[in-house]
Chain A
């Protein structure tokens, strides 16, 4: 009944245009995360938001309702897949949004072309404490030593575990799943898992997927302390021993049946949720939903569901991580007043950044990360370390979307087509170096 009333209200709202008010300062906000108007369109309290869409919608709603300065944030939702294509088209067409959410890995190309406003001084002036940014967040939004965006979250590459199956395989320690500490241990434990449960250890998204493969690969290389890219971000070294070890491990795991074969993203999630594999490699964003799944009666995760950062298999603790950040664009604010309004909005987002952590993503404020409220959220305590150990491609590597595609594609071929490791190394190095050389900034 309430839903129907909301829909009726929405339809009525669509018919009547809002009156033009000169005392309003309207800024535009471009984002993904989808739309959930029917559930949260009228909710003005971010604490009541649930899920990525719900929380970011209520965040904006609350700001609009409570800022008291006549600032109105108009949300413009873009589709996630072609988000950057659309953003680029908008910038080229001079239809620039005031604020936009972006992945930190995508910021670099826009910053270097001077399309994004540096915010270092603004943050100091309005009181956003850059020193409170976690290490990963700071790295993600800093270019040339200056901060260019407000970090929103850190998301990382996790192992989601079906503890029940681990118990069945005899891989438990103190009631919790026993994790490998080295590649050899991993192989041994995977073999034991398969023997005892008859199921593969891993469910990976390998088919039709480049990001997942790239992230696992980068994690393994980073854990060996090896820099994949040169310090100027203009070349890649795929021939170093760390790379060979990482690729060999991945190929061996897949070839020996420790990874359920041929799965794409949706299939891997389904396999895990139905208890067909012990470990799912996916990010922080599914945490919330998987927890709900595990609580359902008769769920395959009823025997226990755990989440850990990608375990340390080599010398160094590292895991792939990226983050979302809010950037202000050159030409996106019509007047200085609009720019200040946008900054007020960012300040508000910062003050509520603890709420966003309820999605499963990690906080960007050290205070929030250390707070009891955050640590009490299920499983988060074990993930906090990622705010320091998280790594991605260095910020000076250009066109990271394209580079991720080139690397991820061949890593997938390593497994799907059993492409020889040496061939993958040579091929990726050649193609990535060509691409990096061509990228002009």
Chain B
């Protein structure tokens, strides 16, 4: 029994995946379908009354210029933050993938911020950016630089929140890369050492190629998470200034909980789903292409 044994198709093997798939279907897919159903209704959140409106919610979203802006903001946020996440966390993981107390401390330091809740993170940064008296403006003034209204300038606010988000949760993609680095077989490194390969060559010829799958994974997970960005923007800029930072999820929240318009809110969430599906499919397709064979 060799490769054939491993490759033999047996229905019993489906039992490995069944527990998860059952929960997944019941607690994710089923509510999703219900949500889609609601999106075809005008549904009042508080009284739970609803009536059928067909595609009216989607048509209204199409015409809603606030929603268009909101989609644009979200895409911009993802476009800014995802590359930074991937590159920075990869660099940190590569640099800190070593034994020793110092590396241990440094890894913990970069991870530290992610244990705190979003409420605290936004609070401490709002204080640090407080005009005139915050840490950052004071630093800028001390260096003789002009004080930038980072959170109240239309052009800077989204970038600022994106950078704060990176500061907050860089630890998680970093440990993803670290765990992937542990999988690279020692023999590859030994071979490179035997060839007297330089550090750069080892990095580019051995490490990075072995990390391709992990890079796609991290890019994917960050894409997914940042498309759903919400609490930090709500708490730091409330969607402003002038709707330049409001993300899709905040729009959904406001429609559902403040305007009590559940149908409209779920329609917007289906649009978000569609956008994310494009992004996720693209990522997975890239990975599939690189390997060929089993996916």
Give me the interface of A with B, judged by CB distance under 8 Å.
84-85, 88, 91-92, 109-110, 113, 115, 206-210, 261-264, 266-267, 270-271, 276, 399, 401-402, 405, 409, 412-413, 416-417, 419, 431, 435, 438-441
Contact = CB atoms under 8 A, between A and B. Distances in A.
B149 A261 contact: yes
Interface stretch (B22-30, B109-117, B254-262, B287-295): B254-262
Interface stretch (B9-17, B74-82, B125-133): B125-133
B259 A435 contact: yes
A44 to B, nearest CB: 33
B204 interface: no
Contact of A412 (B240, B257, B261, B264): B240
A417 to B, nearest CB: 5
Contacts of B151: 207-208, 262
B260 A439 contact: yes
A401 B258 CA distance: 6
B242 A416 contact: yes
A233 B237 CA distance: 29
A207 B152 contact: yes
Closest 4 CB pairs of A and B: A402-B258, A113-B47, A262-B131, A402-B259
A88 B258 CA distance: 11
Contact of A110 (B46, B149, B152): B46
Nearest to A265: B126
Contacts of A207: 151-152, 237, 240-241
B66 A267 contact: no
Given A209-B238, A402-B254, A267 B131 contact: yes
A263 B46 CA distance: 35
A417 B238 contact: no
Interface string B117-146: 000000000110011110000000000000
A267 B243 CA distance: 22
B274 to A, nearest CB: 23
A166 B184 CA distance: 71
Interface in B224-247: 235-243
Nearest to A419: B242
A115 to B, nearest CB: 7
B21 to A, nearest CB: 28
B242 A417 contact: yes
B254 A440 contact: no
B280 interface: no
Nearest to A206: B152
A440 B240 CA distance: 28
Contacts of B47: 113, 115, 441
A261 B131 contact: yes
Contacts of A401: 258
B240 A416 contact: yes
B238 A210 contact: yes
B259 A262 contact: no
18 contacts: A85-B257, A88-B45, A88-B46, A113-B44, A115-B46, A207-B152, A207-B237, A207-B240, A261-B149, A262-B149, A262-B152, A264-B130, A399-B258, A402-B254, A412-B240, A435-B259, A438-B261, A441-B47
Contacts of B133: 267, 270
A262 B182 CA distance: 48
B126 A266 contact: yes
A419 B240 CA distance: 13
B48 A416 contact: no
Contacts of B241: 207, 412-413, 416-417
B42 interface: yes
A113 B46 contact: yes
Contacts of B264: 438
Contacts of A438: 259, 261, 264
Given A208-B237, A267-B131, A416-B152, A440 B66 contact: no
Contact of A405 (B152, B254, B260): B254
A91 B211 CA distance: 50
A103 to B, nearest CB: 13
Contacts of A208: 126, 151, 235-238, 240
* Of listed B48, B131, B239, residue having the most chain A CB within 10 A: B131
A440 B132 CA distance: 46
Nearest to B44: A440
Contacts of A441: 44, 47
A275 to B, nearest CB: 13
Nearest to B237: A208
A88 B151 CA distance: 31
A113 B240 CA distance: 32
A207 B46 CA distance: 31
Contacts of A210: 238
A411 to B, nearest CB: 11
A6 to B, nearest CB: 27
* Of listed B239, B259, B261, residue having the most chain A CB within 10 A: B259
A208 B48 CA distance: 32
B164 to A, nearest CB: 14
B242 A440 contact: no
Interface string B247-277: 0000000100111110010000000000000
A415 to B, nearest CB: 10
Contacts of A84: 257
A215 B238 CA distance: 17
B212 to A, nearest CB: 41
A441 to B, nearest CB: 8
A92 B239 CA distance: 28
Contacts of A91: 46
Contacts of B44: 113, 440-441
B122 to A, nearest CB: 10
Contacts of A92: 45-46, 48
A387 to B, nearest CB: 29
